[in-house]
Amino acid sequence: MYDLTVIGCPSYDWITYNSVKRATRTLSGPAITAALTTTKLGIENMVLIGSISSEFQPQFINELDNYGIPEHFSIESPETGGFEIECDDDKDPVIASVIGIPKRIGIREIPEEFLTSKIIALCPLLQEIDAELVEWICNSSDALILLDPQLRTIDENRRVSVISELYVASRTRSFIDYIIPSEREAFLITGESDPFVAAEIIVDSIADHCVITLDSQGCLLFDGDKYSVIPSQSAKVCDLMDASAAFLGGFIFGLLNDYTPSSCAALGTSVVTFMFPESRPDFPLNLTNVLQKADAIALDIETR
């Protein structure tokens, strides 16, 4: 049995940082970030599943080995996901264009052996994980299911757009254990700007627990009964596109070590404060430092 299965397609991006374009495309994406985060925190019994083209397969295998991700299962795709991303100090990253769209992951493409994991993390890049796949996983596995919704999609002109409907909401009620949207994603899903109200709506219709990340303000956890407000202890706005996936990685580490949900959220919040755009994907992460900051954050958790 695996401790963790991460499902989502990798992305190979052209990144320009402060007007300087990197010499090669950079491995990125929510699934990669979540897997890297858990690996850096010491989770070894895991597997990464995603679709990628044969062109990038050798480079992908080599990089996963270098980063210490122990096992992967690749699905053949005509294209590898990728974006042109412009990053500057103190500004949000901007997707300038789409340079690759990964193949949607089908039900029959995931070996059933991976469904016996303790936790399955769904980290889509561009809606390659659809409602049918989510429903099948939830009905076929006893794992805890966590979803990083990532509401980006591609229009007919291959431009990035956002969706306001989370398609898994049309399926069986409350089959996802944890959903972790950003504040903006929670607004798009519910139409509510108040994160407390949005969390209630999401728990009523999509998941048993909702954790809304609030940028530099920490996060909000709702379990259907009470709210936990987790502070950040950092004035820095984490402007990484994959920050929510890094948060998810810290949260998963906590679940696998029997932390309470609010302590897991403190761990996720701690992880994000160690991320910087210029270091992606190989951001520095030290377990001792993460745990120390998480302990400090946990002292200031407010329950309502």
CATH value at residue 264 = 3.40.1190.20
Structure tokens, 275: 């991320």
Asked if pLDDT for residue 239 goes beyond 50, the answer is no
**Tokens 């398609």 -> residue:** 167
The amino acid occupying position 233 is Q
Q: Taking CA 10 as the corner, what is the angle to CA 291 and CA 105, rounded to the nearest 5 degrees?
A: 115
> Which H/E stretch holds residue 50?
strand 46-52
Q: What is the pLDDT of residue 287?
A: 96
What's the number of domains the chain is made of?
1
**DSSP 3-state of 106:** coil
Evaluate the CA torsion angle 297, 222, 287, 279 in order and state its sign. negative
Lowest mean pLDDT among 56-60, 145-149, 185-189: 185-189
Instruction: Please provide the average confidence, as pLDDT, over all residues in the chain.
Output: 89
Structure tokens at 158: 């291959």
Residue % of the chain over a pLDDT of 90:
65
Instruction: Give me the domain span that covers residue 82.
Output: 4-303
* Residue of higher predicted confidence among 131 and 280: 131
- Are 137 and 123 contacting, i.e. CB atoms less than 8 angstroms apart? no
Candidate from 73-77, 95-99, 158-162 with smallest mean pLDDT: 158-162
Residues 215-218: contacts with CB under 8 Å, at least 24 apart: 215/182, 215/183, 218/269, 218/297
Q: pTM of the full predicted structure?
A: 0.93
Indicate if the pLDDT at residue 237 is higher than 60: no
| Cα 108 to chain centroid, rounded | 23
pLDDT at 135 (0 to 100): 87
**Nearest alpha carbon to residue 25 among 84, 98, 93, 97:** 84
Report whether 213 contacts 180 (CB < 8 A): yes
- Could you give the CA distance from residue 213 to residue 163 in angstroms, rounded to a whole number? 18
Band of residue 92 on the pLDDT scale cut at 50, 70, 90:
confident
| Strand-strand pairing, 26-28 and 11-17 | antiparallel
Place of tokens 């090669």: 24
